[in-house]
Structure 1
Amino acid sequence: MAEELYRLYCDPQSRPFMLYVRNTLSEVQAVNKTFQAKTADPTLLNDGLERLVSSLGPKCDISRHKCGLFNRGHYTIPGFSTTTWIRGRKSHERRDGARSSGNCNQRLRKFTVLLLEEIKHRLPENFAILKKVNTLSARHALTPSKPSIVELAEAFVTSAEEIGKIERQWQNLPYVHWQNVDNTEKLWTEVHLYRDAAGDNPFKELCNLALTVLALPHSNADVERVFSQLNIVKNKLRNRLSLGTVNSILHIRYGLLVCGKSCWDYRLPRDVIQKVGTMTSYEKEKDDPNEDVLCLF
């Protein structure tokens, strides 16, 4: 492998390929960061992923319709468009690289097709639900002419009567003056707290559906962060920490994160302070025979 990399880096024909890979992977990384972000709008994640997949298609002369996000399978590629290889400051180098490379087109084509297929291969079978979630975004929910929510409701609700209520509430949603019209999560929080003259929430069923959908995990980034924290807490010098202690430390760390506090500015309750230095702080509420197999999450 080292020899192959050495020959690759010494070959001047590899330069246009490397520049193309750098620019393409930067676009992939940008979309990947949106899925890992803690403050990302889950209703808009599908848009970025669709733009990425659609932009890869024309580079391989695949039509936008054929390379759609939900179109699985292999592709038959008649040619490769060399005019859109490299964008940015290095674009002036693409012509010389294209002329001097006999197999550069083939390499670029294979890389793009493989990237496109690997992206789709990593999507779960129920990924289509992410496209329907886009309906709940603030920019769609508050417009009078908007798509129907029945298809999304049928994925979570089985009662036809409740689906009918959700559809009616969905159509009536724009006729209330809402404050948070730019943030999806704040909008549905406001809808959840809304009350009419009788003290009832006229959007109860719709709001329950929206909160259920928005609570769905859209990536495993948070789980990966827990594993990273676990490696920090239970290191080589603290490898004898019990599972209960590690579990408590992780709960404290993420509890402070949720509260927006740090260990130096969090005020402990008075009853907790009174237990410090006493045997009460070491007493367990109940003996759990399965303590050693408690889940860390």
Structure 2
Amino acid sequence: MAGTRWLARLEAMNAILDQWEALQLHFEMAASNERSHTARVLNDAYKDPQNKLYMLYVRKVLKEVVRVNKMFQAENADITKLTEELLSMYRNLMQLVVEPRYLSKCTLESLLNFKYVDYLIPICAVQFGYDFSVAAAKAPLNNVQITYVKERCVKFVVDLLREVQLRLPDNINTLLMMKQLHSFTATSQCKEQIEDIASKYQFTFADMDQFESEWNALGFEQWPKSCLSNTISFWAEVKAGLAGSTGSRNFQCAATSVADH
């Protein structure tokens, strides 16, 4: 998913919708005064309220896509959370068009193989949002025309879901395990065991017993607050042997294992 592309589309859509009436008047005058095919095409587009309805809905959907894309583009992105955020976005998009009784049974891990096209909500039951509803009520459109716009909106979401699904990595379950390595999780005294990740890489960890011992001990050290807000910085601190105020415990096995995998 190209973050710059989606951000540019959302910004362009915001600009168009915010200036819709002014642009409509501009191209109406241009179509009348100039012999320009482009001006006539744009005039027809801005005169059709169906296009504005469609763009209002697409903007609503793109906000979620851009939010997650910005997380991936961030310089200090937390790699332990990105996969979960991507799948959460994927599920949020599904909630727009998929029947809740089927989607509610899916875990994040199972979304990769979920056949959402088999469980789409009927058009009459889809929630299109406040802006769309208000604009539709004011637009000089009949029920057939509004239904057509709604069908276009649902198709946009379905197409977007397909594009996202194609880009989800095959090792999604392994990547989801990475959230256990988040600094706050790793330093918690009440945390899940690291068995899932450990077993995944058991043939490459030098000393599994030592790794598990150090993992369990992480929560009993006093770590600098400055490193806890960033998982990469935290594990760099761990590898540097800066545990606690005295550096009394060595976590080289755990830190090296995490850094390598």
Q: TM-score, normalised by structure 2?
A: 0.67
Matched, 1:38 2:75: yes
In structure 2, how many angstroms separate the alpha carbons of the residues matched to 1:90 and 1:103? 14
Secondary structure (helix, strand or coil) at the match of 1:93 reads helix
Quote the offset at 1:195 in angstroms. 6.5
Asked whether the 8 Å contact 2:97–2:126 carries over to 1, the reply is no
Asked if 1 retains the 8 angstrom alpha-carbon contact of 2:53 and 2:132, the reply is no
**Contact (CA 8 Å) 1:142, 1:173: kept in 2 or not?**
yes
Deviation at 1:36, TM superposition (A): 2.1
Structure-1 residue corresponding to 2:259: 211
**Is contact 1:61–1:80 with CA below 8 Å preserved after alignment?**
no
Distance 1:165 1:67 in 2: 32
Aligned to 1:223: none
Aligned with 2:121 (options 68, 78, 87): 78
Structure-to-structure mapping, 1:86-235, within 5 angstroms: 86=129, 92-96=134-138, 99=143, 101-158=146-203, 162-179=207-224, 180-194=227-241, 202-213=250-261
Cα 1:168/1:107, change in 2 over 3 Å: same
State the 1:9 CA deviation.
4.6
2:57–2:132: 8 Å Cα contact kept in structure 1? no
Q: Which letter does structure 1 place at the counterpart of 2:187?
A: L
The one-letter amino acid of 2:167's match is: R
Bigger RCO of structures 1 and 2 (CA < 8 A, at least 6 apart): 2
Q: Which amino acid aligns with 1:45?
A: L
State how far apart, in whole Å, the 2-side matches of 1:184 and 1:127 are: 20
Any conservation in 2 of the 1:154–1:163 contact (CA below 8 Å)?
A: no
Larger Rg belongs to:
1
RMSD of Structure 2 on Structure 1 (CA): 3.3
Higher helix share: 2
CA separation of 1:13 and 1:166: change in aligned 2, threshold 3 A: same
What is the rounded CA distance, in whole Å, between the counterparts of 1:18 and 1:111 in structure 2?
Answer: 11
Match of 1:85, as an amino acid? F
Q: Whole-Å Cα distance in 2 between the matches of residues 174 and 67 of structure 1?
A: 28
Residue 161 of structure 1 and its aligned partner are, at CA, apart by 7.3
Gaps of 5+ in 2: 1-37
2:90 corresponds to which residue?
A: 53
Structure 1 CA distance for aligned equivalents of residues 86 and 50 of structure 2: 31
After superposing on structure 2, the runs of 4+ consecutive aligned residues of structure 1 that deviate more than 6 Å are 2-6
CA displacement at 1:70 relative to structure 2: 2.6
- Cα distance in 2 for residues equivalent to 1:5 and 1:212: 55
In structure 2, give the amino acid aligned to 1:59: L
Aligned 8 A contact 1:135 1:149 in 2: yes
Residues 40 and 90 (structure 1), Cα distance of their counterparts in 2 relative to 1, 3 Å cut: same
Question: How many aligned positions are there?
Answer: 211
Does the 8 Å CA contact 2:83/2:176 hold for their aligned counterparts?
yes
Cα deviation for residue 200 of structure 1 reads 8.4
Normalising by structure 1, we get a TM-score of: 0.60
Q: How much has 1:120 moved relative to structure 2?
A: 1.2
CA distance 1:144–1:67, change in 2 (3 Å): closer
Offset from partner CA, 1:93-126 (integer Å, 9 cap, x none): 2444695512122212211112112101112212
Counterpart Cα distance in 2 of 1:207 and 1:81: 54
The alpha-carbon distance between structure 1 residues 113 and 66, as it changes in their structure 2 partners (threshold 3 A), is farther
What SS class does the counterpart of residue 205 from structure 1 fall into? helix
- Name the SS of the counterpart of 1:13 in structure 2: helix
Change (3 A) 1:36 1:157: farther
